[in-house]
Amino acid sequence: MSYLLGLTGSIGMGKSTTAAMFADLGCAVWDADAAVHRLYAPGGAAVAAMSAEFPAAIEDGSVSRDALKKIIADDKTALARIEAIVHPLVAADRQAFLAGIETDIAVLDIPLLFENGYDAEMDATVCVTAPAHMQRARVLERDTMSEAQFNAILAKQMPDAEKRARATWVITTDTLEHARAQVQAVVDAIRQDMPHA
């Protein structure tokens, strides 16, 4: 049985980069966002159910995230209905991943880890953080994100300070070298405590 490490952090904190650092140290990494992309892709497990519930969200045989955003904006009940379809499929994807791995540590990259209570299923948690000015600059460098969209996403996420307070470990991604050293320290600490290590 792998040690389950929940990885979270607000938008622009460097979570994907940090997840890759765990992978470099021999951890298996499951990414919730990537799972949703697989489910929404042509032939994905969510396409038929979403097509039945939200026909306007289907484009070229896949679920369009842009179309979903419009649907959610126009219909206050849409988000809960989308989540009722997608969350069980994401959970099944996660279980399939866990059943197929043989590494000592499994890192589960889940943006809403604390918000949705998934931390209760983990052996420990990591919160990735960065100074607020760095977070804002990283997000607004993406051509796909406006300041208003960034602020709207932040408003939906648990505040960074609260995530840090709840996490077992906090990794600050101010520089790649600093982040890598902290990831190594977390992996070392887990492996030292493992009974079979």
CA 121/CA 188 separation, integer angstroms: 21
CA 105/CA 2 separation, integer angstroms: 5
Section 143-148 average pLDDT: 83
Q: Output the pLDDT for position 144.
A: 80
Domain residue extents for the chain: 1-27+104-197, 34-102
pLDDT(106) > 70: yes
3-class state of residue 137 by DSSP: helix
Name the least confident of 77-86, 136-145, 157-166, 185-194.
136-145
Section 158-175 average pLDDT: 96
CA 110/CA 59 separation, integer angstroms: 26
What lies within 8 Å, CB to CB, of 21 at 6+ separation is 179, 180, 183
CA 170/CA 176 separation, integer angstroms: 15
More confident residue, 142 or 63: 63
Nearest to 1 by CA among 99, 118, 109, 93: 99
Which two tokens mark 162?
């609260």
pLDDT(188) > 50: yes
Q: What pLDDT digit, counting tens, does each position of 13-28 carry?
A: 999 999 999 999 999 9
CATH code for residues 1-27+104-197? 3.40.50.300
pLDDT(179) > 70: yes
Q: Give the pTM.
A: 0.89
